[in-house]
């Protein structure tokens, strides 16, 4: 039963990563903690490992299709590296109840962001055609990269639920390219966040393997067939799911623990 549940949940995480360029990772830690019974100190690095590998494989078809803005990815990855390491260090000194409460708050913010996000593409950083005014947009990309990197290390999330809106609304990148770029950034941020946990990392490698394989398969399938799905409607319903999971996390923290 546990193996079946692990495989099913891993595939869901991967599908959401492939479809939305993120989002699935925000469910990974609650799933590992509450559905599979894994302690938080193991769930966060496990989430980073699974999400990072799944995002890497999900990014491959996007790279092949030239749907990655490499300069944007480099800015986010560079600024997020130390921030992710710092977030991981902070996670290790916080009580689990505080971490999970903060995680629930981030989930609510992410859900609100998904519901309020417009389908259009921002133009604040665009110049003629599809180019980007890097001088104007670096001041926006750097703090966004720092914030996403810190959250990645602190909560074990890839940050795609924040990266995609930033790429679309702040930098004016079209959605298909934003998803591909986000997957590359999530891969880099997850690797950076994992570094902070390598000193005394203890994981259930059987669960890691099962979760990772199904997440990879889900991300690849979703990346191939995702163009046929209404992303706006999917994102709306996913936001409602995030609210429900956040409420469950708070209930567990307040009532159960």
pLDDT tens digits for the chain (257 residues)? 577 888 888 888 888 777 766 666 678 888 888 888 888 888 888 888 888 888 888 888 889 988 888 888 888 888 888 888 888 888 888 898 898 898 888 888 878 877 776 555 555 565 445 556 666 667 777 888 888 888 888 887 767 777 777 777 777 777 778 888 888 988 888 888 787 777 767 788 888 888 888 988 887 787 676 666 666 777 787 788 888 888 988 888 887 65
Report whether 21 contacts 219 (CB < 8 A): no
**Alpha carbons 15 and 214: distance in angstroms, whole number:** 9
Q: What is the CA radius of gyration of the chain?
A: 17
List the end-to-end C-alpha distance of the chain, in Å, as a whole number. 25
Report whether 1 contacts 39 (CB < 8 A): no
Distances (CA, A) of 90 to 26, 77, 78, 86, 150: 18, 20, 20, 6, 9
Q: Which helix (H) or strand (E) holds 225?
A: helix 205-225
Report whether 73 contacts 181 (CB < 8 A): yes
User: How many domains, in total, are found in the chain?
Assistant: 1
What pTM was computed for the model? 0.78
Angle, CA 60 vertex, CA 220 and CA 128 arms, to 5°: 115
Distance of CA 222 to the CA centre of its chain: 15
Taking only the tens place, the pLDDT of each residue in 177-223 is 888 888 898 888 888 878 777 776 778 888 888 888 898 888 778 76
Task: Give 36's DSSP letter.
Answer: S
Residue ranges making up the domain that contains 243: 2-256
Report whether 72 contacts 141 (CB < 8 A): yes
């Amino acid at each position: 039963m546990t193996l079946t549940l692990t495989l099913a949940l891993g595939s869901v995480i991967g599908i959401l990563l492939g479809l939305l360029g993120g989002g699935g990772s925000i469910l990974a830690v609650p799933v590992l903690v509450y559905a599979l019974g894994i302690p938080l100190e193991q769930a966060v690095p496990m989430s980073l490992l699974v999400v990072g590998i799944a995002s890497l494989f999900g990014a491959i078809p996007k790279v092949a299709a030239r749907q990655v803005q490499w300069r944007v990815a480099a800015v986010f990855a560079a600024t997020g590296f130390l921030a992710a390491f710092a977030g991981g260090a902070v996670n290790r000194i916080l009580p689990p109840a505080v971490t999970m409460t903060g995680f629930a708050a981030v989930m609510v913010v992410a859900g609100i962001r998904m519901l309020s996000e417009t389908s259009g593409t921002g133009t604040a950083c665009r110049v003629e055609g599809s180019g980007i005014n890097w001088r104007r947009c670096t001041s926006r990309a750097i703090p966004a990269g720092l914030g996403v990197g810190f959250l990645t290390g602190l909560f074990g999330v890839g940050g795609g639920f924040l990266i995609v809106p930033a790429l679309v609304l702040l930098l004016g990148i079209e959605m298909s390219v934003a998803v591909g770029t986000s997957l590359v950034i999530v891969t880099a941020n997850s690797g950076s966040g994992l570094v902070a946990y390598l000193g005394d990392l203890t994981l259930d490698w059987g669960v890691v393997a099962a979760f990772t394989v199904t997440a990879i398969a889900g991300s690849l399938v979703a990346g191939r067939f995702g163009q046929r799905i209404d992303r706006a409607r999917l994102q709306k319903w996913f936001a409602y799911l995030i609210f429900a999971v956040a409420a469950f996390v708070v209930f567990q923290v307040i009532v159960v623990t």
